[in-house]
Amino acid sequence: MKRQWLLLTAALLHLALLHAQQKPTLSPNLVYNPSFEEYRECPRKIDALGTLTIVDAWFQPTAGSADYYNVCGSRDCGVPKNKLGIQDAYSGNGFCGIYCSKTDYREYLQTELREPLQAGQMYNASFYVSLSEYSAGAVATIGALFTVDRVGDTVRSVLMNKEVRNLAPGISQTVASYFQPQVVNDYDRVLTDTKAWMRISGAFRARGGERFMTIGNFFPAAQSNVVDLDSLTYLLPGAYYYIDDVAVVCLTCGAAEATDSVGEAQPTETIAAPDTLQVGATFVLENIFFDFDKATLLQQSYRELQQLLAILHRYPTMKIEVRGHTDGHGSADYNQRLSENRAKAVVDYLVEKGIDPKRLQFKGFGKTMPIESNATEAGRARNRRVEFKVISR
């Protein structure tokens, strides 16, 4: 009996060793000075027009002045108590603070990673935030943007992606659009805690070469899910958040092959069951949102689109038609163009995420195919929809 027990123990130890050898090693944090512990001098004042220069490896990309706090700081910049609130560090002695705002005033933090991200690999980015109790409200859509080149501007508002387009010889136009951060806190999870630290985290697949990470709110106030709270003192003009413990780690580097995750985050459920995905079947994308009277996709659409991406990856030969619809308000021509542009915006998003454009079609139906009466707001809301139809499997 004793010999059998020893043999069983040895076998279990052997299996455990094999399992440990097969388990991929988590990559190191790619962020320098992730909890803001390294600094050139103790912070002394909050300067509304200042520039973040004393924290090693971190800087601000716009004219919005990010702030630094440390236990060695002055009365304005101390930890836990300072001019803009009261909070202990999540870890260590220091942290930074930025306006993510209930207005369009913005502040951001930016850093250069230890190494560029590898194309096709999955990464997880995370950081902790805490709302200052002196704020005048809270928001949801704080996130992290990863770019190949350093991005920045001289503005004190939302950081925009500005692209110069050459229209003709000697004629160019600068077109501004909102950045789409790879990791964004969920729109429905407003970041309201003034006592504890709240973790923002998300996985995404790198395109390759991303070297810079920028943290902040990349969405206008109307799309940030701004809320007012009775518990706040409203001493500050907007929503102010402390930031600490930033991490970027590779989830698949060194593994035998990359995971099956796609896009920003792996969805936990799908739009349609596999046995219903027959040729000719049509499905409504329930949670697709656009700017009012525009074809600009809002961030809260991404979760639903991730589910559609998962279906297209699972069935690599499937072809679909994305179909746009509007309610009954407005002229027929206007609604036709709007529905086409919205369907195209969904297709463009899918192509941007790696889907072969040959698998995708789009079509607008304007207000010609209502599924509810346009006499009520609820009916009009249901009629304003995006669908996809299975063309072939």
Q: Which of the two residues, 329 and 256, has the higher pLDDT score?
A: 329
pLDDT in tens, 65-78: 999 999 999 999 99
Confidence of residue 251 (pLDDT cuts 50, 70, 90): confident
Q: What is the arithmetic mean of pLDDT over 117-122?
A: 92
Query: 72 to each of 45, 67, 103, 252, how far by Cα in Å?
Result: 12, 14, 32, 39
Tokens 């995420």 — which residue?
A: 353
Which of 175, 176, 181, 123 is CA-nearest to residue 147? 181
Average pLDDT of every residue of the chain: 85
pLDDT value at position 7? 43
* Contacts of 35 by beta carbon, 8 Å cutoff, 6+ apart: 89, 90, 91, 92, 94, 95, 244, 245, 246
Which residue, chain included where needed, has tokens 């920003």?
264
268 pLDDT higher than 70: no
pLDDT at 275: 59
pLDDT at 267: 41
pLDDT at 178: 92
Does position 154 have pLDDT exceeding 80, yes or no?
A: yes
Condensed to tens digits (0 to 9), the pLDDT of residues 353-388 reads 999 999 999 999 999 999 888 887 667 878 889 999
3-state SS, 155-204, equals CCCCCEEEEEEEEECCEEEEEEEECCCCEECCCCCCCCCCCCCEEEEEEE
Distance CA 35, CA 44 (A): 19
Cβ contacts of 349 within 8 Å, gap of 6 or more: 297, 305
Instruction: Categorize the per-residue pLDDT at 25 as very low, low, confident or very high, splitting at 50, 70 and 90.
Output: very low
What average pLDDT score do residues 230-251 get? 94
In this structure, of 11-25, 68-82, 128-142, the range with the lowest mean pLDDT score is 11-25
Q: Which residues pair with 212 in a beta bridge?
A: 112, 147
Q: What is the pLDDT of residue 173?
A: 73
How does residue 94 score in pLDDT terms, banded at 50, 70 and 90?
very high
pLDDT at 294: 81
In this prediction, residues 36-65 reach a mean pLDDT of: 93
Q: What is the largest CA-CA distance in the chain?
A: 90
The whole-number average pLDDT for the span 6-30 is 49
Residue 8 vs residue 44, higher pLDDT = 44
Domains along the sequence of the chain with CATH: 58-250 (2.60.120), 274-392 (3.30.1330.60)
Which H or E run contains 375? none
Q: In this predicted structure, what is the pLDDT of residue 292?
A: 66
Predicted confidence (pLDDT) at residue 266 exceeds the cutoff of 50? no
Say yes or no to pLDDT of 343 above 80.
Answer: yes
pLDDT above 80 for 80: yes
For the CA atoms of 100, 87, 198, 84, the dihedral, rounded to the nearest 10 degrees, stands at -10
State yes or no: pLDDT of 262 exceeds 70: no
Give the highest mean pLDDT range of 127-131, 175-179, 268-272, 315-319.
127-131
Mean pLDDT over residues 128-155, rounded? 95
Query: What is the rounded average pLDDT of the residues 300-321?
Result: 86
Structure token digits, residue 238: 């907007």
State pLDDT tens for residues 191-227: 999 999 999 999 989 999 999 999 999 999 999 999 9
Higher pLDDT, 271 or 107: 107
